[in-house]
Structure 1
Amino acid sequence: MMKKKLITGIATLLLGVSLLTGCGSKSEKYMIATDVTYAPFEFEQNGKYVGIDIELLEAIAKAEGFTYELKPMDFSGIIPGVQANQLDGAIAGISITDERKKSVDYSNEYFDSGVAIVAKADSTLTGESDLQGKTFAVKKGTAGAAYAESILAKYGAKIIYFNDTPSMFQAVTSGNADVCFEDYPVAMYKFKTETNPELKVIGDKVTSTPYGFIVKKGANAELLAKFNAGLAKVKASGEYDAIIAKYIGK
């Protein structure tokens, strides 16, 4: 009887050690999507993914002690992927909107984007108040185009439409338009990386567009909490400001 009890006790002990070992070795790895064609937030450079979102996610994961696999994909597939449980979360310059809140949960805002006014580098224009009678260049279907259209009558301005950003910028550079409207961080990154920029941002942003990290609505609250906690730590340490300054300046 004593021998049987001893064997049972040893088996129970070994089972307990096995369970503890298993728990201790388990480390959840999140699948996090990004769109790597939106500089300066995410893009490929020398075979490596870089940008504000990429570095910020890396810093937050390190601060909170979690691991993840980055999944580059087309932006249009990100939210459906999160909803279908194919992704745990996503960071891709995703604007916080009431419509998207119906299907995803957002982290705290981590960047305030928006539309900026761009003029020639030697322009004397200082902001929106100087746009009376001017000619606007815009890219079709963008937030910049929508804003330009909303103030067109107010300033008695004209508008020229383009299919791509380079053509829009060229219209201002060549003098065929006085200003154009582009996402603030995109414009700032472009001019920061040019040796002798021909264009510049004038005045303050004319719109505000907050960005957030997303998870499926009602799910993955743990990851969302980790992101928010890590974001607070990265901001407090000064690392957040360093990442922003690296890509678009202060």
Structure 2
Amino acid sequence: MTASITRRRAGTKSKAAAAGAIAVTGALLLTGCGDQRDKTDTVRGSGAAPLFSLLPKKIQSAGVIKVGSDINYPPVEFKKDGQVIGLDPDLAEAMGKVLGVKFEFNNATFDTLLTGLRSKRYDIAMSAMTDNKSRQEGVNPDTGKPVGEGVDFVDYLTAGVSIYTRKGDDQGIKTWDDLCGKKIVVQRSTVSHDLAKAQSKSCEKDHKGKISIEAFGNDTEAQTRLRGGGGDAGASDFPVAAYAVKTSGGGNDFQIVGEQVEAAPYGIAVAKSNTQLRDALRQALAFIIANGEYDKIIAKWGVKDGAVLKAVINGGK
């Protein structure tokens, strides 16, 4: 949506702390959701769905949660043999089982996801989207001006941003300061894009030469540009950069340089008016954290160090 994470650098939690948190979460679910767990709903023959009654009636009737996603961001979400796979689809499937509905992923460019959510094309956006105040409040992070209605987030992972270069050709780049006077490729409207713009202003202020930024509709296009020599470096979320380093060209195309920065949560975006769906999703995430499915999924995709221990709403800053 690899090597282990910090996308915005969460320290590794101890097994004891994780086990304690899961036990507490499980106890809360048994206490707070006892009615739902005792009176199990069965939906369309799909089996037990203990949290089905928490969903809005419209989604109960449809049996589907429509998801807006940029399905070109491995290992978080991508297509293989025509199937949508990755960290987000696996988490959505696990949550869907306890909610008793399907999560239907719809492909779109990342920079259009919140617009699609506001226009009700999607019920949620789930696409390695960083939960931050500008998105919560619906403002442009550069100008502070409104761009549309804000959203709420159900946070499910923590990750940081990494710089990567062609393998064996790091151009002396180790930190963001080293990008002054160089060219970087990024995905449009991402935190990596915001960081590059902010760093370029800092470079100009220090008379070191601005950064030339080329932004693309998806991260794969940025990687292709860098691979072909069209930039000095790229930047993206650590899970994505690490996956590209591991898989592109059999591991011979790229390398990560320096440390991750801007640790922050990934969140499932929900319209602020749709609090019932938001709260149902939080309960579903808490449920799969408590029953161990969450840990299995994040281990499968190599992002264990970014694990969250509880389901939180709007934890981003």
What is the TM-score when the length of structure 1 is the normalising length?
A: 0.68
Q: What does 1:114-133 align with in structure 2 at a 5 Å threshold? A: 114-122=160-168, 127-128=174-175, 132=178
**Residues 55 and 147 (structure 1), Cα distance of their counterparts in 2 relative to 1, 3 Å cut:** farther
**Aligned counterparts of 2:292 and 2:257: Cα–Cα separation in 1:** 27
The reply to whether residue 136 of structure 1 matches residue 182 of structure 2 is: yes
2:203 counterpart residue number: 152
Q: Name the SS of the counterpart of 1:57 in structure 2.
A: helix
Of structures 1 and 2, the one with the larger relative CO (CA 8 A, separation 6+) is 2
| Counterpart AA for 2:278 | L
**Aligned counterparts of 1:198 and 1:77: Cα–Cα separation in 2:** 30
Among candidates 81, 84, 88, match of residue 53 of structure 1: 88
**Residues 151 and 199 (structure 1), Cα distance of their counterparts in 2 relative to 1, 3 Å cut:** farther
**Aligned counterparts of 1:125 and 1:198: Cα–Cα separation in 2:** 17
**Aligned counterparts of 1:126 and 1:81: Cα–Cα separation in 2:** 37
Per the TM alignment, residue 54 of structure 1 is displaced from its structure 2 partner at its CA by 0.9
1:4 counterpart residue number: none
User: Is the Cα contact below 8 Å between 1:56 and 1:243 reproduced in 2?
Assistant: yes
| Counterpart AA for 2:118 | Q
Q: Name the SS of the counterpart of 1:107 in structure 2.
A: strand
Report Cα offsets for 1:103-139 as digits up to 9, x if no partner. Answer: 354233223344312134446968428x558763312
1:235 counterpart residue number: 289
Report Cα offsets for 1:8-64 as digits up to 9, x if no partner. Answer: xxxxxxxxxxxxxxx9878712332232433122222101111221111111222x2
**Aligned counterparts of 1:132 and 1:84: Cα–Cα separation in 2:** 41
**Residues 50 and 218 (structure 1), Cα distance of their counterparts in 2 relative to 1, 3 Å cut:** same
**Aligned counterparts of 2:213 and 2:115: Cα–Cα separation in 1:** 31
Greater helix content? 1
1:223 counterpart residue number: 277
User: Is the Cα contact below 8 Å between 1:192 and 1:248 reproduced in 2?
Assistant: no
1:65 counterpart residue number: 99
Report Cα offsets for 1:135-170 as digits up to 9, x if no partner. Answer: 633127533532441453559466444465122344
2:16 counterpart residue number: none
| Counterpart AA for 1:65 | L
**Aligned counterparts of 2:200 and 2:263: Cα–Cα separation in 1:** 17
Give the unaligned 5+ runs of structure 2: 1-40, 45-51, 53-59, 138-148, 216-220, 305-317
User: Is the Cα contact below 8 Å between 1:144 and 1:182 reproduced in 2?
Assistant: no
Q: Name the SS of the counterpart of 2:251 in structure 1.
A: coil
Aligned residues: 221
The reply to whether residue 201 of structure 1 matches residue 256 of structure 2 is: yes
Per the TM alignment, residue 92 of structure 1 is displaced from its structure 2 partner at its CA by 2.2
| Counterpart AA for 1:87 | Y
Coordinate RMSD, CA, aligned: 3.6
Give the unaligned 5+ runs of structure 1: 1-22
Per the TM alignment, residue 71 of structure 1 is displaced from its structure 2 partner at its CA by 4.2
**Aligned counterparts of 1:191 and 1:65: Cα–Cα separation in 2:** 36
Among candidates 21, 32, 44, match of residue 79 of structure 2: 44
The reply to whether residue 107 of structure 1 matches residue 153 of structure 2 is: yes
1:214 counterpart residue number: 269
